[in-house]
């Protein structure tokens, strides 16, 4: 059985570095530690307001991975704004995850509204595909996945916020069932499946066996745990939760 891959979101290492204005912690060292611990990929979220990683970090990180970790996938999660897409096209990561961004938001909190936003997204997706970049679209579990396939996406990333918040509550079973229905529907439309948002070493247990789940992206929970046990152990705990030997 193929295990779900873990892509570690390293934004918060950059955020801590940015708060001081120097190069501590060193982002590339953090990336190396995550990958030595067994992570399968790295995710970053460049935004116009640079509240996470900085745009200038992305090509540096991409070159570092190409030189020192060939075969490790870089996933750039971003909005469909030309300023950010220019960076994506220059870097040509393995995957670009497009997310709807609201100015001033703390974090992404909903998926794309399709087919309503399809006319806007279709040329963006076509251009990314032309550069050999796999395209994933952020999606709610209630999405019309037929529309996501029709607009040209290779994958969807299920927004797991509601699932994660329901973990350990009376709503847990229903939220898990919603994930299953969405996964089956996405697969029936020919879409690959990713998932992310507020996943951690505990609630990953509920996603084991989720049909077609290829990759999870985890950042906030990972670095929060790293403050307690270190980066290496925090990554390996997530891998273990996904069923990987560590």
**Does 109 score more than 80 pLDDT?**
no
Written in H, E and C, the secondary structure of 130-143 is: HCCCEEEEEECCCC
pLDDT at residue 1, as a whole number: 59
CA 127 and chain centroid, separation: 20
Question: Choosing from 45, 52, 64, 154, which is the catalytic residue?
Answer: 45
- Measured CA to CA, the distance from residue 76 to residue 208 in angstroms comes to 25
**Does 52 score more than 90 pLDDT?**
no
Q: What confidence tens digit (pLDDT) does each residue in 22-36 have?
A: 889 999 999 999 999
Q: Is residue 198 domain-resident? A: yes
pLDDT at residue 102, as a whole number: 77
Q: Is residue 54 domain-resident? A: yes
Question: Choosing from 40, 64, 154, 197, which is the catalytic residue?
Answer: 197
CA 37 and chain centroid, separation: 18
Reduce the DSSP state of residue 239 to 3 states and report it.
helix
Handedness of CA 90, 41, 164, 229 (dihedral sign): negative
Number of domains in the chain: 1
Indicate if 45 belongs to the active site.
yes
- Measured CA to CA, the distance from residue 216 to residue 73 in angstroms comes to 13
- Measured CA to CA, the distance from residue 6 to residue 218 in angstroms comes to 8
Residue whose entry in the numeric block shows the structure tokens 């996501």:
148
Of residues 214 and 104, more confidence is placed in 214
Indicate if 105 belongs to the active site.
no
Q: Is residue 246 domain-resident? A: no
pTM over 0.85: yes
Q: Is residue 213 domain-resident? A: yes
Domain span including residue 118: 5-241
What share of the chain has pLDDT > 90, as a percent?
89
Residue whose entry in the numeric block shows the structure tokens 């979220």:
45
Residue whose entry in the numeric block shows the structure tokens 């995850």:
97
Q: What confidence tens digit (pLDDT) does each residue in 56-101 have?
A: 999 999 999 999 999 999 999 999 999 999 999 999 999 999 999 8
Indicate if 52 belongs to the active site.
no
- Measured CA to CA, the distance from residue 86 to residue 114 in angstroms comes to 24
Q: Is residue 230 domain-resident? A: yes
Question: Choosing from 40, 52, 64, 77, which is the catalytic residue?
Answer: 77
pLDDT at residue 49, as a whole number: 84
Q: Which residues of 178-202 are buried (b: 16+ CB within 10 A; e: fewer)?
A: bbeebbebbeebebbbbbbbbbbbe
- Measured CA to CA, the distance from residue 116 to residue 147 in angstroms comes to 9
CA 40 and chain centroid, separation: 12
Whether the CB-CB separation of 155 and 194 falls below 8 Å is answered with yes
- Measured CA to CA, the distance from residue 9 to residue 148 in angstroms comes to 24
pLDDT at residue 106, as a whole number: 62
- Tokens coding 71: 């075969």
Q: Is residue 79 domain-resident? A: yes
pLDDT at residue 105, as a whole number: 63
Whether the CB-CB separation of 128 and 96 falls below 8 Å is answered with yes
> Mean of the per-residue pLDDT values for the chain?
95
Q: Domain of 136: which CATH number?
A: 3.20.20.70
């Amino acid at each position: 059985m193929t295990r779900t891959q873990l892509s570690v979101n390293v934004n918060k290492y950059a955020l801590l570095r940015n708060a001081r204005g120097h190069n501590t912690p060193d982002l590339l060292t953090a990336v190396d530690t995550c990958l030595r611990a067994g992570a399968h990929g790295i995710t970053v979220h460049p935004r116009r307001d640079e509240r996470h990683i900085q745009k200038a970090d992305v090509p540096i990180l991409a070159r570092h991975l190409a030189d020192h970790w060939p075969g490790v996938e870089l996933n750039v999660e971003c909005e469909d704004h030309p300023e950010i897409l220019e960076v994506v096209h220059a870097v040509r990561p393995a995957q670009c995850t497009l997310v709807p961004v609201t100015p001033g938001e703390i974090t992404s909190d909903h998926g794309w509204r399709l087919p309503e936003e399809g006319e806007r997204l279709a040329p963006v997706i076509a251009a990314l595909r032309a550069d050999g970049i796999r395209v994933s679209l952020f999606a709610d579990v209630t999405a019309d996945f037929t529309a996501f396939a029709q607009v040209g996406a290779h994958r969807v990333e299920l927004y797991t916020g509601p699932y994660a918040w329901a973990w350990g509550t009376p709503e847990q079973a229903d939220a898990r069932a919603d994930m299953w229905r969405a996964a089956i529907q996405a697969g029936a439309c020919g879409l690959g499946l990713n998932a992310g948002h507020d996943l951690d070493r505990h609630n990953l247990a509920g996603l084991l066996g989720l049909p077609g789940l290829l990759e999870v992206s985890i950042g906030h929970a990972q670095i929060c745990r790293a403050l307690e046990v270190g980066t290496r152990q925090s990554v390996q705990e997530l891998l273990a939760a996904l069923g990987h030997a560590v």
